[in-house]
Amino acid sequence: MKRLIKKFTPALLISCLCASLAIAQASQSESPAERRAKEFARLIDSGNRAELRSYAKENFAPNFLNIPMEQHLGFFSSVHDFTRGVEFHSLQDAKPNEATLLLKARLTGEWVALIVRVEPESPHRIAGIGLRPPKPPASAQPSKKLSNEQIAQELKAFVNKLADADVFSGTVLLAKDGVPIFKGAYGIANKDFNAPNRIDTKFNLGSMNKMFTSVAIAQLVERGKLSFDDPLSKFVPDFPDKASAEKIKIKHLLTHTAGLGGYFSRAWNESSRAMYHTVDDMMKRAAADEKLLFEPGTRWQYSNTGMLVLGKVVEKASGQSYYDYVRENISKPAGMINTDCYELDKVNPNLAVGYDKQITDNGVSFTNNIFAHVMRGGPQGGGYSTVEDLLRFDIALRSNKLVGAEYVKMLLSAKPELNSPGYGYGFQVETESQIAGHGGGFLGISSNLDMFLGTGWTAIVMSNYGRGAQPVQQKMRNLVRTDLEARASSISK
């Protein structure tokens, strides 16, 4: 057999040399963090857990490896599950020893941003991994403004893909000026009986109850029953101790700057859920472990205990139980007919069971959260609601039906003066994007309310899959942002 020899012309030889030089230069300009991020993105694309396990042992920093391997695998498999692989697009952001890649999900075509931090010293092992809000390129934006019907169709097609892949189970509602332009229910509310989710299925709110607690406090301030500057000692004189109660103010509790932590401790995990049916029951558990972590107002730390204590303040200032107060002063005037802190050892129609999707080397399985979560929700979270009820809450709040305009502004504004730049009074606030609301998450719980301030847009998603709401939340944010940018562009022309 004759050996074939390829002949190079001078022009072709120069072209090959230039291409090789360009590749070498690109490789040299690639930072260690970007290189590591691309390596991890390729692993996500493959979804191969064995490869990830081997890669982690060789390329994760020792401190990062101290996190149990199952947690690393859980994050890895979760990202692969909702993307079904990713395609690299570009470097979104770069900092010393940190790179954020803009990726495209193969399942939906949506954007995903992966951030990777590395050690500063060679071999630059991975010290941290996470997801960030993506910044789509300008070329990805629609060339013309979409109608509400087109927005609804795009959202429907997106959620259908997630539901068909069993990535999402729950309900979705997107509204403009209080009127839904899209709502839908997907998946199964109870897998034991194959009962489907409906639009009026009640889902666990997780931490979203904090919004109701803060509105209750604002109402009592408006009615002269208390003040945001009141010390906690005025209502609860010895929590967590007398000296601390005198330092903590109501506004510190509302902004997670009171120096309190969370009472979901090991002792709580090992106790019977049946012990906790009232605010006082929960307060007893919190009092057993709680102590002041820092001087009130000096820094921010998310605190379930702080919001629980506010529930006790509501009881003291109103003379009612927390649950009765919220029903009469928030749910009833807002028209919320499917919202409450239901006692789960009683009969409660149409409640979704929460499920944790577990991806293992042997495949996919589900466990429910019945014995992992609370028997009854409270001021800090754990109640139930529907997407339609949460829209009613938004309408009532932003139309000043629950509390006056002055107090609505207080609730929905960040409080940097209290070291709370991303949180108002009981509401998460994104100042740059002008979004206020709250999310809730736990095993089998993933819900979120976004109120786009000054625009009339409302986006709500509730899921009985852990982390299930996040892709839908991001999609709705992208659609609303695109609409707002198109409107701004048409006005400026």
Angstrom distance (rounded) from CA 30 to CA 32: 7
Give the model confidence (pLDDT) of 44-99 as tens digits. Answer: 999 999 999 999 999 999 999 999 999 999 999 999 999 999 999 999 999 999 99
Taking Cα atoms as reference points, which of 310, 303, 301, 296 lies closest to residue 244?
296
| Over residues 301-326, mean pLDDT | 97
Angstrom distance (rounded) from CA 191 to CA 193: 5
Give the model confidence (pLDDT) of 171-226 as tens digits. Answer: 999 999 999 999 999 999 999 999 999 999 999 999 999 999 999 999 999 999 99
In contact, 300 and 256? CB cutoff 8 Å: yes
Share above pLDDT 70 across residues of the chain, in percent, rounded to a whole number: 93
Confidence band of 368 (pLDDT split at 50, 70, 90):
very high
Question: Which of 156-170, 357-371, 395-409 bottoms out in mean pLDDT, i.e. has the lowest?
Answer: 357-371
Angstrom distance (rounded) from CA 159 to CA 472: 7
| Over residues 144-173, mean pLDDT | 96
pLDDT of residue 144: 77
Angstrom distance (rounded) from CA 376 to CA 162: 30
SS3 for 460?
Answer: strand
Residue 94 phi/psi, 5-degree rounding, is -145, 135
Q: Examine the pLDDT at 269 and tell me if it is beyond 90.
A: no
| Over residues 343-356, mean pLDDT | 96
pLDDT of residue 381: 95
- Quick one: how many helices (H) and strands (E) in the chain? 17, 16
In contact, 23 and 58? CB cutoff 8 Å: no
Q: Examine the pLDDT at 22 and tell me if it is beyond 60.
A: no
| Over residues 357-371, mean pLDDT | 93
Residue 196: how many other CB atoms lie within 10 Å = 13
Cβ-based neighbours of 146, under 8 Å, separated by 6 or more: 154, 479, 482, 483, 486
Cβ-based neighbours of 190, under 8 Å, separated by 6 or more: 352, 353
Residue 295: how many other CB atoms lie within 10 Å = 14
Q: What share of the chain is helix, strand, coil (3-state, %, to 5)?
A: 40, 20, 35
pLDDT of residue 18: 46
Please check whether the two domains, 30-139 and 203-492, share a CATH topology: no
How far are the Cα atoms of 55, 84, 182, 242, 416 from residue 167, in angstroms, in the given order?
A: 26, 10, 20, 48, 37
Question: Both tokens of residue 64?
Answer: 């990062």
SS3 for 169?
Answer: coil
Q: Examine the pLDDT at 13 and tell me if it is beyond 60.
A: no
Strand segments (E) across 96-153: 98-105, 111-118, 126-132
Our measurement of the distance from residue 88's CA atom to the centroid of its chain's CA atoms, rounded to an integer in Å, reads 24
| DSSP output for 364-395 | EEEEE-TTTS-SS-BTTB--EE-HHHHHHHHH
Confidence band of 466 (pLDDT split at 50, 70, 90):
very high
Class of 203-492 per CATH? alpha beta
User: Which of the 8 DSSP states describes residue 422?
Assistant: T
Q: Assign residue 215 a region: left if phi > 0, alpha if psi is -120 to 50, beta otherwise?
A: alpha
pLDDT of residue 28: 56
pLDDT of residue 275: 77
Residue 489: how many other CB atoms lie within 10 Å = 11
In contact, 438 and 210? CB cutoff 8 Å: yes
In contact, 340 and 383? CB cutoff 8 Å: yes
Residue carrying structure tokens 């009981």: 426
Give the model confidence (pLDDT) of 272-306 as tens digits. Answer: 777 778 999 999 988 888 899 999 999 999 999 99
Taking Cα atoms as reference points, which of 190, 114, 176 lies closest to residue 352?
190
CATH topology of domain 30-139: Nuclear Transport Factor 2; Chain: A, (3.10.450)
SS3 for 148?
Answer: helix
Domain boundaries, the chain: 30-139, 203-492
How far are the Cα atoms of 103, 187, 413, 417, 472 from residue 424, in angstroms, in the given order?
A: 32, 34, 5, 11, 24
How far are the Cα atoms of 185, 188, 223, 350, 447 from residue 196, in angstroms, in the given order?
A: 8, 4, 43, 10, 18
pLDDT of residue 481: 92
pLDDT of residue 492: 61
Q: Examine the pLDDT at 17 and tell me if it is beyond 60.
A: no
